[in-house]
Amino acid sequence: MKPIETIMRTAPVIPVIVVDQVEHAVPLAEALVAGGLSVLEVTLRTPAALDAMAAMQHVPGAIVGAGTVTNSDELDAAIGAGAEFIVSPGLTEPLGKAAIEREIPFLPGIANAGDIMRGLDLGLTHFKFFPAMAAGGLPALKALAAPFGQCKFCPTGGIGLENAPEWLAFEPVLCVGGSWVSPRGPVDSPSVIATAREAAKLGS
C-alpha cells in the first residue's frame, strides 16, 4: 500500500467518480489514466460502485480507492472490492480507528478545527477539506491550516478547472478532488482524456 501522502502527490486532481453502470467503469478509468490522472476515487453512492471499483483495478496504472465511506461496514466492503485507499466525507472515531486497524491509506473529511483535532488524536495528518466551497472556500482553509502546520489537505466540493489553480498554489494543499473530470454516464473517451490532460497540467 502506498502512503496517503504519496497517493495525494501522484496527480494534482483526484477524479471523484460516480458510476451508475459497471460497463462505464473501465473505459472511464482508462481515459483518466491516459490523460494523466491515475488516482481514482469511486464514490459508494450507487449500487454499481463496488463492482466498478473491482473492474477498474485491472486498468494498468490506475490507483483505485473508495469515496463516500461512512462506516466500518462500508470500509470493509470497499477493501474487499480491492480499494487501495479510503476517502470519507467526515471523520468519526469508529471509522478512523477501523481504517487505522486495517492499515489502509485514509483521507477523512474535515470542515473545522474540531474535526482536525479529532484526526490528530488518532494520528492522522492528511485530510479532505469538504465541502470546500460551502465550508468557506480557500480563506477558510487558510485560517484552519494556520494552527495545524503538520497537516496536508485535499479540498473537494465546488472545485473546477477555473478555481483549482488557486487552491493548488496554497502549500498545504497536495491535490484537489473534482467531479468535472469524470462525467457520469456513457464515456466519451477523447473528451475525458482531453479534460484529464488539462487537469493534470494544473500541478506543473
> Which 3 state secondary structure label does DSSP give 21?
coil
Find the helix packing angle between 72-80 and 49-56, rounded to 10°.
Answer: 40
Q: Are 9 and 175 in contact (CB under 8 A)?
A: yes
Q: Which of 41, 74, 84, 152 is catalytic?
A: 41
> Distance (Å, rounded) from C-alpha 192 to C-alpha 197?
9
Q: Is the peptide bond before 186 cis (omega within 30 degrees of 0)?
A: no
> Distance (Å, rounded) from C-alpha 202 to C-alpha 176?
10
142 classed as catalytic: no
Q: Which of 30, 74, 84, 128 is catalytic?
A: 128
152 classed as catalytic: no
Strand 152-155 versus strand 126-129 pairing type: parallel
Cα torsion 180, 181, 183, 188 to 10°: value is: 140
Active site residues: 41, 128
